[in-house]
Amino acid sequence: MKKIILSLCLVLFVSSAYAGSCPMMAKNIDDKIKKAQELRDQGMDAHKAGDHAKSEKLLNEALALFKS
């Protein structure tokens, strides 16, 4: 009985310790979205200017942010 209670307490406390990382993970996602949007805008500007090599490079960088 003591082992069951001890195991239950351990599981409850360990899972609540990881709950604090959610805001950090959300901020990391927000930062990547912001950077990807900037790269996308720069890539589309390069495309409109006729610099397709630079456009592809910037857009691929934006895509790579979501692969890491």
pLDDT, tens digit (0-9, with 9 covering 90-100), for 9-42: 666 666 555 667 788 889 999 999 999 999 999 9
Top pLDDT among 53 and 6 is at 53
- The pTM for the full model equals 0.67
Query: Is residue 14, in this structure, part of any structural domain at all?
Result: no
Q: What is the phi/psi pair of residue 12, to 5°?
A: -65, -45
Query: Is residue 6, in this structure, part of any structural domain at all?
Result: no
Query: Is residue 65, in this structure, part of any structural domain at all?
Result: yes
Residue range of the domain that includes 45: 22-68
Query: Is residue 7, in this structure, part of any structural domain at all?
Result: no
In the DSSP assignment, the letter for residue 68 is -
Query: Is residue 13, in this structure, part of any structural domain at all?
Result: no
Please, what is the average pLDDT of the chain?
A: 85
Query: Is residue 17, in this structure, part of any structural domain at all?
Result: no
Cβ-contact 14, 36 below 8 angstroms? no
Query: Is residue 60, in this structure, part of any structural domain at all?
Result: yes
